[in-house]
Amino acid sequence: MRADYVLKRFGIFLLIVWLAGTVNFFLPRVNSQDPIREKLMQQATNGGSLQTGMQEMVAEYDAKFGLDRPLWQQYLSYLADLSRFDLNYSISNYPRTVSEMILEALPWSIGLLSVTTLLAFAIGTLFGAFLGWPRTPGWVHFLLPPVLALHALPFFVLGLVLMYVLAFWAHLLPMYGGYTPGTFPSLNLAFALDIVVHSIIPALSIILVSIGGWALGMRAMMITTQGEDFTNFAEAKGLLARTICLRYAVRNALLPQITALALVLGHIVSGAVIVEVIFAFPGVGTVLFNAIRESDFFLVQGIVFCVILTLGIATFILDLCYPLLDPRITYRRS
């Protein structure tokens, strides 16, 4: 793998992260009045048991982002905080820091999303490959319309239906949450199984919806690769049909699928946030929902930043995997 390819991709990753941080900093300040300050003041005047902490928080906020400091100085101290992952305290859960709360929720979301995305990608791509291969038995094609119809739905629409049918009506699976209330998260088999059982419906709603998109893309690419000279040449050489399908058609058709994966990740995350809210799944989406309800600005900003950061890392890893699949990338000179 060439160094300049890796460096360029890493540069794009840094650009995304910097943009996310910058947008987070400037957007609340565009409106001249500072909603963060207002929320802090409101919380501080409300008083109660939290008051001492709030006063300190306001003092600290003023020291860093006070109006007596020019904007660029505020911006620099913000970026310095960000680079140390100091995302400030949560306004509504004062003594807890934002990073702490996100780190608690992030594994749930990453677990749910990575498993569902990979499964949907694998199943959908395989399905699409079959659809685009002339020797596939005819009945496979009848599966396409229902799969496409499902693909049109947002995750949460299918999620609600599955929740009603599988959990409320048939009592097969639990309705809400990430684990049985009352149990204490621990590292044993029973708890792991409990998580899996709770994740089935949210995961199923994401997977069933996503399959159609991958199948459609893969089918189109399979049809395109079969018209290419190299496939005709392979046929003329008398290679086995299976070899042509896997080594010639599928391998080449797979490349745009990987590119699409990098592009679609953002949509998947946006959709999954709503799924988490509907299922009260203890991931980042649910924390975000509660933070919005409490207008906990630091927590919302922290989550938005961390989600974009995580997604940036995922895209970067995907970019690094790309040359392994397509050797031409590393030889190409820009």
Site residues for other proteins per CB under 8 A: 12, 15-16, 19-20, 23-24, 27-28, 30-31, 33, 35, 38, 131-134, 136, 141, 148-149, 151-154, 156-157, 160-161, 163-164, 168, 175-176, 219-220, 223, 262-263, 265-267, 269-271, 273-274, 277-278, 288-289, 292-293, 295, 297, 300-301, 303-304, 307-308, 311-312, 315
DSSP H helices, 155-296, are: 155-162, 189-226, 229-236, 241-243, 251-279, 284-293
Task: State how far the Cα of 213 lies from the Cα of 117, in Å rounded to an integer.
Answer: 12
164: tokens are 């009603």
Q: Which residue's CB is nearer to other proteins, number 26 or number 185?
A: 26
SS3 89: strand
Asked whether the CA dihedral 322, 329, 324, 234 is positive or negative, the reply is positive
Q: Which residue's CB is nearer to other proteins, number 57 or number 272?
A: 272
- Shortest spacing between CB 28 and other proteins, in angstroms: 4
- Shortest spacing between CB 186 and other proteins, in angstroms: 27
Residues 6+ apart with CB under 8 A from 277: 285, 286, 289
Left (φ > 0), alpha (ψ -120 to 50) or beta: where does 277 sit? alpha
Task: State how far the Cα of 185 lies from the Cα of 177, in Å rounded to an integer.
Answer: 13
- Shortest spacing between CB 144 and other proteins, in angstroms: 10
Q: Which residue's CB is nearer to other proteins, number 220 or number 239?
A: 220
295 closest CA partner among 92, 93, 59: 92
What is residue 248's DSSP assignment? I
Q: Which residue's CB is nearer to other proteins, number 239 or number 274?
A: 274
- Buried b or exposed e, range 304-316, using 16+ CB within 10 angstroms: bbbbbbbbbebbb
Q: Which residue's CB is nearer to other proteins, number 30 or number 189?
A: 30
- Shortest spacing between CB 226 and other proteins, in angstroms: 9
Q: Which residue's CB is nearer to other proteins, number 160 or number 255?
A: 160
Give the orientation angle of helix 297-325 with respect to helix 35-46, to 10 degrees. 130
Q: Which residue's CB is nearer to other proteins, number 51 or number 74?
A: 74
Q: Which residue's CB is nearer to other proteins, number 14 or number 196?
A: 14
43 closest CA partner among 92, 76, 7, 83: 92
Q: Answer for the pair 93, 101: CB distance below 8 angstroms, yes or no.
A: yes
What is residue 327's DSSP assignment? T
